[in-house]
Structure 1
Amino acid sequence: MPDLTPSIRAALRSSTLLALVLGLGLSLTPVQRAEAFGAPESFAELAEQISPSVVNITTSAMISAPADGMPMVPEGSPFQDFFDDFGGPGHGGPQRSEALGSGFVVTEDGFIVTNNHVIEGADEILIEFYSGEKLPAKLIGTDPKTDIAVLKVEAGKPLPFVSFGDSDLMRVGDWVMAMGNPLGQGFSVSAGIVSARGRQLSGSYDDFIQTDAAINRGNSGGPLFNMDGQVVGVNTSILSPNGGSIGIGFSMSSNVVSKVVDQLKQYGETRRGWLGVRIQDMTPEIAESMGLAEASGALVTDVPEGPAKEAGIASGDVITSFGGQPVRDAGDLTRRVADAPIGEAVPVIVQREGRTETLAVTLGRREEAEATTMPASSAAPDEPRQLESLGLTLAPLDDDMRSRLGLDASTEGLMIMAVDPASEAYTKGLREGDLITEAGQSRVVRLQDLQDRIKEAKDGGRKSLLLLVRRGGDPRFVALSIE
């Protein structure tokens, strides 16, 4: 037998080992073997099944034009895209312009879901079905906060429709299919996977599914399907440097959309629960400064007049459970409160000064409370001298500072006069003009108050001190190292 090269000998050893494993009926552990799932042989059957429920939407509106002939359009409207891209003809007077989008039928009697930005500002809405039939649509209701709108057509016959699926069951890597009217080319299908979950862009109620299924202008309002033909998202926006698809698209998750759609169908408007708190996410530094084992829950930064204050929730509380469900972060709490029933008592569990308390909160309605002004915090006497500590130069708030900053006469705390650019405070966003109203979850009015809180934290073995900082009336907690 000729001499074997080292590579051949290694290959034989691997083959022998594999044969032994197979021959002995041994199996590889999950760490050693990753199951792979191939792509579907075809998306044709799924596309054929659900296409009749997907619609193209054409909207039109009268656009006024100034003397130079260039039409004036509302900022952010779909008609603005039209004129930015194609340069609308101008004749110095009002003109009618069209914009395109997508949608899908959710009931056999003609309710249709799309994006609010697809129909915003339109005075005529025309629905085109997969069959080619066209019908005018009536606007039932909109929710700009989730960019969802509900329309209604009168078809005189049962319409093909699709149902919402459970978006929480979607996993990163699951196959999805998008349908719509990209770039005005008519009905089109694209497929891809779930690239990420729980994306937040700019809204309080955002819960986007990110997908690499091709989404372009005109796809807005169209459905994102799972492989069972259920809608798990509404295609809303893309991330792109050039306006075209680069494989980063966002669909508002069905578990957010379905609740909004139900309310718009029933009331023509949303009716969200209102707790009445300002909140922020917990961080490991803040958790450590409060003596908590983990950085989870929603940290309460302010409690104006409202349901939470009436129930006894206070600034500095960490809400860890709402309605019997654990709270992961501030966004999680916001969505849970929005979905909760108005006017009914809900159990809320908070962490407060090392102990757990359960409070019953009767929720109000957010839409009725949104115009309420958050009051400034109460206050105390001032001091003339300054203090340098924690990378900050601080002074008690006085009447001159209040006047310059437009603060209420009752507002008090320690004003940040300067921030060391090399300090942790600067890195964490503190700036000259910010106001510190609490330290260690206690009010600070005098410079000595802050020094006392620092000493108490050190004596208690803490590595950081929790500060409540206000900028322009908006509060947030920041933990700074005291070591």
Structure 2
Amino acid sequence: MALFSLSCAVQAQSLPDFTQLVEQNAPAVVNISTVSHGRQGYHQFHGPGKSPLPENSPFGDLFRRFLEEGQGPERPPEESESLGSGFIISTDGYVLTNHHVVDGADEVIVRLSNRKSYEAKVVGSDEASDIALLKIDAENLPAVRIGNSKDLKIGAWVLAIGSPFGFEATVTAGIVSAKGRSLPSENYVPYIQTDVAINPGNSGGPLFDLNGEVVGVNSQIFSRSGGFMGLSFAVPIELAMNVVEQLRKDGHVTRGYLGVLIQDIDRNLAESFGLPRPQGALVARVVKDSPAEKAGLQVGDVILTFNQQLLHDSTQLPPLVGTTAVGEDAKLTVLRNGKEITLTVRIAELPADDAEIPSEPSTAADSVKSNKLGLVFSELSAEERKQLELPAEQGVRVEEVHEGPAADAGVQPGDVVLMIDGQKVSHPTQLEQIISGAPAGKTVALLLLKQQGPVFVALRIPE
């Protein structure tokens, strides 16, 4: 019995005491309520929210923003309401929260821990990072201390304060589960993943480390029901503060732009490019007149580092580029034809819209019979190349896909082959010769233009 009591005492001593952290920081955490006039809406208590994924996505019900319209009883068309959280970042009344908390709101009310309420002005809001900056007319307010999520270690204790389901000043704690998470449809935020209990109403609230400094802004959860299931995601505070500074200064956010379409590298692609292991960002397309094209980047290049930061996978690149100042030079280490080279690229401003590549059915008659990859090709006409925005004399259309390595890799009729094993292709006969001449057992990278854009696939030449 004595040993059991001693064990419990030792375990209790090893657990963190959050009481002082909460006492010092809870006054700087606020409750945010919004009202939108003249539109149909639902109260956030009744539903889980909408997914940022496409409706036909198999994961469409999993990733939820906390405070969007739910499935509950309808409110009158005159107004809709939502509740969220936020935190004071300066004593003169600047408040940080999530974009989706205040998006479309006609009135935003900020209520402090002392029960005082203020009507807030939305200084600016950025959908891509899900960050919004508010201003209330007050002075000498309690403010949080801003930390740095880069110092966080996996397994470190973290704490959240917010208003889940309207229960103000609720405190929950957990650990950092992962860093640099990339979520579907989210390109510019390397999320902090935690197991801190987060629910509707926590949106925009702070995530603290044990030093009492804010390291993240609670933003999303992974859920099948709309409630907490052990997977929560926060925007890193340094990214959020970068957005805040731009919103305060300019009222909007600019992001760096490289001008490439990239994809991740799996084991087979790594083998085809001569990489010892999957790493880096594989360039599947270089946008015309973009910084990447001007710097000499080419399709098939593998970007290994950006400003000396190693890219373990392709999802690391967009946040690094996006947070780089427009007009600043960046150094890239690139693997090309088995050799590493260094390129300097001047980062431009991210355009408002990205053009989509159309895909049209083939009308060309010239074709090649099925080869050992199980493919039948046809020639592209000049008009088709123009529609697809391809250079002259490049591209061969896939007409049929039979059983074989190509079918297993996801090659489909209508795909256009742009490159194989580092060689650009322009005619079915040329492509057939390259395939026929490749040694059995070799893994080659095939660059395809699919309906959604260019993508590399790895194919192993069969016997």
Q: Does the TM-score normalized on the shorter chain lie above 0.5?
A: yes
Q: For residue 131 of structure 1, what is the aligned residue in structure 2?
A: 114
Residues 327 and 333 in structure 1, CA contact (< 8 A), matched pair in contact too: yes
Q: For residue 348 of structure 1, what is the aligned residue in structure 2?
A: 332
Following TM superposition, by how much is the alpha carbon of 1:85 offset from its aligned partner in structure 2, in angstroms?
A: 2.3
Residues 166 and 255 in structure 1, CA contact (< 8 A), matched pair in contact too: yes
Select between 354-363 and 119-128 the one with higher mean Cα deviation.
354-363
The whole-number CA distance in structure 2 between the counterparts of 1:39 and 1:354 is 51
Following TM superposition, by how much is the alpha carbon of 1:456 offset from its aligned partner in structure 2, in angstroms?
A: 5.4
State whether structure 2 residue 286 is matched by structure 1 residue 297: no
Q: For residue 57 of structure 2, what is the aligned residue in structure 1?
A: none
Following TM superposition, by how much is the alpha carbon of 1:123 offset from its aligned partner in structure 2, in angstroms?
A: 0.9
The whole-number CA distance in structure 1 between the counterparts of 2:252 and 2:437 is 50
Q: Secondary structure at the match of 1:81?
A: coil
State which of 310, 316, 329 in structure 2 corresponds to 1:326. Answer: 310
Following TM superposition, by how much is the alpha carbon of 1:406 offset from its aligned partner in structure 2, in angstroms?
A: 6.2
Q: How does 1:58-97 map to 2 (within 5 A)?
A: 58-64=33-39, 81=69, 84-88=71-75, 90=76, 94-97=77-80
Q: For residue 176 of structure 1, what is the aligned residue in structure 2?
A: 158
State which of 171, 174, 182 in structure 2 corresponds to 1:189. Answer: 171
Q: For residue 215 of structure 2, what is the aligned residue in structure 1?
A: 232
Per-residue Cα deviation, 1:286-331 (whole angstroms, up to 9, x for no partner):
1211223332211111111211111111111111222233232222
AA aligned to 2:309 is Q
The whole-number CA distance in structure 2 between the counterparts of 1:409 and 1:283 is 27
Distance 1:388 1:183, change over 3 A: same
Q: Secondary structure at the match of 1:389?
A: coil
Q: Secondary structure at the match of 2:137?
A: coil
TM-score of the superposition, structure 2-length normalised?
Answer: 0.84
Distance 1:312 1:60, change over 3 A: same
Q: How does 1:430-469 map to 2 (within 5 A)?
A: 430-454=411-435, 457-458=438-439, 463-469=442-448
TM-score of the superposition, structure 1-length normalised?
Answer: 0.81
The whole-number CA distance in structure 2 between the counterparts of 1:376 and 1:359 is 31
Q: How does 1:242-391 map to 2 (within 5 A)?
A: 242-305=225-288, 306-366=290-350, 369-371=351-353, 373=355, 384-391=366-373
Distance 1:284 1:346, change over 3 A: same
Q: Secondary structure at the match of 1:388?
A: coil
The whole-number CA distance in structure 1 between the counterparts of 2:40 and 2:323 is 43
Following TM superposition, by how much is the alpha carbon of 1:206 offset from its aligned partner in structure 2, in angstroms?
A: 2.8
Following TM superposition, by how much is the alpha carbon of 1:221 offset from its aligned partner in structure 2, in angstroms?
A: 0.7
Q: Secondary structure at the match of 2:433?
A: helix
Following TM superposition, by how much is the alpha carbon of 1:462 offset from its aligned partner in structure 2, in angstroms?
A: 7.0
State whether structure 2 residue 23 is matched by structure 1 residue 48: yes
Q: For residue 5 of structure 1, what is the aligned residue in structure 2?
A: none
State whether structure 2 residue 458 is matched by structure 1 residue 479: yes
Residues 394 and 414 in structure 1, CA contact (< 8 A), matched pair in contact too: no
Distance 1:291 1:244, change over 3 A: closer
Residues 66 and 199 in structure 2, CA contact (< 8 A), matched pair in contact too: no
AA aligned to 1:85 is G
Residues 177 and 189 in structure 1, CA contact (< 8 A), matched pair in contact too: yes
How many pairs does the alignment contain?
A: 427
Distance 1:65 1:326, change over 3 A: closer
Following TM superposition, by how much is the alpha carbon of 1:101 offset from its aligned partner in structure 2, in angstroms?
A: 0.3
The whole-number CA distance in structure 2 between the counterparts of 1:446 and 1:184 is 64
Distance 1:79 1:107, change over 3 A: closer
Distance 1:446 1:248, change over 3 A: same
Q: For residue 144 of structure 2, what is the aligned residue in structure 1?
A: 162
Residues 62 and 96 in structure 1, CA contact (< 8 A), matched pair in contact too: yes
Distance 1:57 1:342, change over 3 A: same
Following TM superposition, by how much is the alpha carbon of 1:39 offset from its aligned partner in structure 2, in angstroms?
A: 5.1
The whole-number CA distance in structure 1 between the counterparts of 2:389 and 2:252 is 35
Q: Secondary structure at the match of 1:450?
A: helix
Per-residue Cα deviation, 1:86-141 (whole angstroms, up to 9, x for no partner):
432x3xxx412221000111112221111111000001111001111111111111
The whole-number CA distance in structure 2 between the counterparts of 1:50 and 1:470 is 52
Following TM superposition, by how much is the alpha carbon of 1:399 offset from its aligned partner in structure 2, in angstroms?
A: 4.3
Q: For residue 214 of structure 1, what is the aligned residue in structure 2?
A: 197
Q: For residue 119 of structure 1, what is the aligned residue in structure 2?
A: 102
Residues 142 and 150 in structure 1, CA contact (< 8 A), matched pair in contact too: yes
Q: For residue 129 of structure 2, what is the aligned residue in structure 1?
A: 146
The whole-number CA distance in structure 2 between the counterparts of 1:429 and 1:323 is 34
Q: How many percent identity over aligned positions?
A: 36
> Cα RMSD between the aligned structures?
3.0
Following TM superposition, by how much is the alpha carbon of 1:80 offset from its aligned partner in structure 2, in angstroms?
A: 5.3
Q: Secondary structure at the match of 1:237?
A: strand
Distance 1:316 1:80, change over 3 A: closer
The whole-number CA distance in structure 1 between the counterparts of 2:448 and 2:13 is 52
The whole-number CA distance in structure 1 between the counterparts of 2:358 and 2:72 is 46
AA aligned to 1:51 is A
Larger Rg: 1
Residues 67 and 201 in structure 2, CA contact (< 8 A), matched pair in contact too: no
- Unpaired segments ≥5 residues, structure 1: 1-34, 67-73
Distance 1:389 1:265, change over 3 A: farther
Residues 161 and 169 in structure 2, CA contact (< 8 A), matched pair in contact too: yes
- Unpaired segments ≥5 residues, structure 2: 1-9, 42-48, 52-64
AA aligned to 1:443 is K
Give the structure, 1 or 2, with the largest relative contact order (CA under 8 Å, sep 6 or more).
2
